[in-house]
Amino acid sequence: MITRKRPVAGVCALLAALTAGLALPAGAAAGEPAGRDAPKVNLVLDVSGSMRAEDIDGRSRMAAAKQAFNEVLDATPEEVELGIRTLGANYPGDDREEGCKDTARLYPVGPLDRTEAKTAVATLAPTGWTPIGPALLKAADDLGGGDGSKRIVLISDGEDTCAPLDPCEVAREIAARGIGLTIDTLGLVPNAKLSRQLSCIAEATGGTYTSVEHQDELTDRVNELVDRAAEPVVTPVAVRGAGSCDEAPVLESGLYTDREEFGQQRWYRVELFAGQELRASVSVAADRAVRPDHGVLLRAVTVHDREIVRGEATGTGRTDVLSTGLRYPKPERDDDDSGKPAAETVCLAVTHSFAADSGVKTTPGLPLELTVDVVDGPDGADDVASFGLGRGWWLLGALVLAGFLAGLVWGWLSRRRVAVWRTN
């Protein structure tokens, strides 16, 4: 799978934030941890001999990786402590035992000196073996302790050459330490065996695998992962959606995780009072081989199965995660005989159209994350037909009027200019 370009991803993230209200309130069911340690990222780069191949935009894989790293270093947030580790960068010989020890810390994890880090990256040249397992163990140690987020980003163009130290088992061992470390992997070659190995490494720690074939895609994806490390860490709450709204769990504001089988629909309920606004978003991850074309649908419906609003997204296999969101402001209205605002039960239905490739296990279902945010609605929330624009209607009207007046003035000036030209 190839990630979308970074500008597109940025626009989508902005739209998702505006339409789905991804930020959780202080009283959310799932909150941030108390720790304030800096987030840490360790970039692990394959510098084995195969990185000489010139098949990325007409350049060598190594040249593309160097350019990507330089751009990532320029864009790294100030609060992120970043380090770089190599594998296969120093030993050029045929001794397997020596080759499988070849992993080195190129730049220590800590406050970033961009000039120093770029100078270190510039010295790299494709050299030796591919000891992924040993490199991951050392990279985990590089990150040290603390309660901030920790992330390893592994970039490789080939499978590990140092078995029996299976890198998948290494990743599982790291996950078992309980240190909150996530490993994301990127493959520079569309190779099935490499894809399986890198996917296995990522899945062991809850990370993602992405296949990239162009330098800008590599830059975009690494930048995205580094930015993700700087985001506040929120602990999701496990929930089990039901097969119908009647049996669905009632959710408060928070972040929730669930799994949804292929061809299944999951239901959840939210209580909404007059003047409040529901903002919800859902992300479904393809954690195994799926067919390219798929979609995700999030619907808000009444208990009588009348659809209120929906959010939907489609994909073609260019990203590992598909997300969509919706907003619904409940009108200011007293429905209760006592004069108190009556609560409305809003049913949220999640459906996806992912389909597993032949021979791929369909259970357990695909992992999904559901964000629910109930906030006080904006002024004019009772005008449900215009939700999403709000006071923007005034701006739209002003722009239309300004355009109309400008057209009249331009037309008058044009006619006068023609009249003067004819007179002369």
Q: What gap in Å lies between CA 424 and CA 421, rounded to an integer? A: 5
**How does 151-177 read in b/e, with b if 16+ C-beta sit within 10 Å?**
bbbbbbbbbbbbeeebbbebbeebbee
Q: In the structure encoding, which two tokens stand for residue 78, read together?
A: 């100030």
Tens of pLDDT along the chain (424 residues) come to 333 333 333 333 333 333 333 333 333 344 444 456 899 999 999 999 999 999 999 999 999 999 999 999 999 999 999 999 999 999 999 999 999 999 999 999 999 999 999 999 999 999 999 999 999 999 999 998 888 889 999 999 999 999 888 999 999 888 878 787 889 999 998 888 999 999 889 888 878 888 898 999 999 999 989 988 887 766 678 899 999 999 999 999 988 989 898 888 999 999 998 888 898 988 888 777 788 888 889 999 999 989 999 988 887 765 567 788 888 888 765 555 555 557 899 999 999 988 887 888 888 888 888 989 888 755 443 333 333 334 444 555 666 677 767 777 776 666 666 565 556 5
Q: What is the largest CA-CA distance in the chain?
A: 95
State phi, psi for 372 to the nearest 5 degrees: -120, 130
Question: What pLDDT, on the 0 to 100 scale, is given for residue 417?
Answer: 64
Sheet with 237-238, strands from edge to edge, namely 237-238, 254-260, 366-376, 276-285, 321-329
Which residues in the chain are classed under CATH 3.40.50.410? 20-230
Residue 135 CB-density burial (10 A; 0-12 exposed, 13-18 middle, 19+ buried): buried
- Taking Cα atoms as reference points, which of 56, 135, 129, 132 lies closest to residue 98? 129
Range list for CATH 2.60.120.380 in the chain = 237-385
- CATH topology (fold) of 237-385: Jelly Rolls (2.60.120)
Q: Which CATH class is domain 20-230?
A: alpha beta
Q: Which residues contact 26 (CB under 8 A, 6 or more apart)?
A: none
